[in-house]
Structure 1
């Protein structure tokens, strides 16, 4: 029951139910079909996307990489994060991401030089690149569907697509975040008692 407000907030912000004016009717019907036809494991990640701190792969092994709560508060500009929800696979690169990690994974000397038009990571001969690609391959294998990879820079205009998936935060369209919804629900319950 503790997670009921969180899942309610997540469901209300899904494209199938509460998308704003920026989504076409074709995209909305596709989201409805996807929500109604997916299995349990896919519906869980579709409802609450998985956020992984990829920059920690140098310090931890891939199976031990713990997901973070889907909130911008859990992220920082020194990190590189994977957000996947069974449909989208987005890599967010912070403006201050470690140059060594960026070079090993993306093959560029700085985060700002990463080409965001690519839909796959380059295959480089180092353990960090192999570990990141394994995490991406495992996500695709686990979801049993192809997910197009998109790379998003911090402060880029396409960052809105990434932020839209951070469902614990307030929505870009003014939708309440998880904490706001929880407080509002608590006040209504207290008012009924």
Structure 2
């Protein structure tokens, strides 16, 4: 939450942007706010035949396992979808195999991928069908249209925008998740040491 445009420090965000995000957050339900603060990211470069297929009984689509929101989790040979309830980012590593590009975009090199396209091509391949089904299913779970933003690693400007959503990293003038945990731990230890009776009572009262 501290890394969102409502609370993050610094002069890089003007008051209009803060007010817009404050009003937007007030209108969100719990489910929408969860994915807004901690975007959903999945790897789509190594999917088995069960992924992206709808169960006729439940209407659910099997998705790949979630990936933690950190740049360290992005493999340069892979491809990832990240969505925060407002946009969907399709990140392509700079070493992505040519076969994946051929199956999804109909091209063989990363330079041939058009980053301005807002829809995935309808190709007669399993990977293309799986990705389009996943995108449709994710879209159906959101109340607003998810703009598709294609990002080629090290080539496209929106990569910086996406990196700000990787909340486990050190960004937006705030510490990383790894640094944040011991900081919270030290704060708790300080409270326990300086006010043991009050903290003990407070914990048990919850």
* TM tier relative to shorter chain: 0.7 to 0.9
Rounded to whole Å, the distance in 1 between the matches of 2:131 and 2:11 is: 35
**Shift of residue 177, structure 1, vs aligned partner:** 0.9
The answer as to whether partners of 1:57 and 1:132 remain within 8 angstroms in 2 is no
The answer as to whether partners of 1:56 and 1:65 remain within 8 angstroms in 2 is no
Change (3 A) 1:68 1:125: same
Rounded to whole Å, the distance in 1 between the matches of 2:9 and 2:25 is: 13
1:59-138 equivalent positions in 2, closer than 5 A: 61-62=51-52, 63-138=62-137
Match of 2:42 in 1: 52
User: TM-score, normalised on structure 2?
Assistant: 0.82
The answer as to whether partners of 1:49 and 1:85 remain within 8 angstroms in 2 is yes
User: TM-score, normalised on structure 1?
Assistant: 0.87
Change (3 A) 1:20 1:100: farther
Rounded to whole Å, the distance in 2 between the matches of 1:160 and 1:140 is: 23
Change (3 A) 1:116 1:16: same
More helix by share: 1
Rounded to whole Å, the distance in 2 between the matches of 1:112 and 1:15 is: 33
Q: After TM superposition, where is structure 1 displaced by more than 4 Å over at least 4 residues in a row?
A: none
Unaligned runs of 5+ residues in structure 2 are: 53-61, 194-206
Match of 1:144 in 2: 143
Unaligned runs of 5+ residues in structure 1 are: 1-10
Rounded to whole Å, the distance in 2 between the matches of 1:82 and 1:178 is: 21
Change (3 A) 1:114 1:136: same
The answer as to whether partners of 1:45 and 1:85 remain within 8 angstroms in 2 is yes
Structure with larger Rg? 2
Rounded to whole Å, the distance in 2 between the matches of 1:56 and 1:68 is: 13
Rounded to whole Å, the distance in 2 between the matches of 1:130 and 1:142 is: 19
**Shift of residue 71, structure 1, vs aligned partner:** 0.9
Q: Indicate the SS of the match to 1:13.
A: coil
What are the Cα deviations for residues 136-177 of structure 1, in whole angstroms up to 9, with x where unaligned?
Answer: 111110012101110111113331111111000100x43111
Match of 1:34 in 2: 24
The answer as to whether partners of 1:53 and 1:65 remain within 8 angstroms in 2 is yes
| Alignment root-mean-square deviation, CA | 1.7
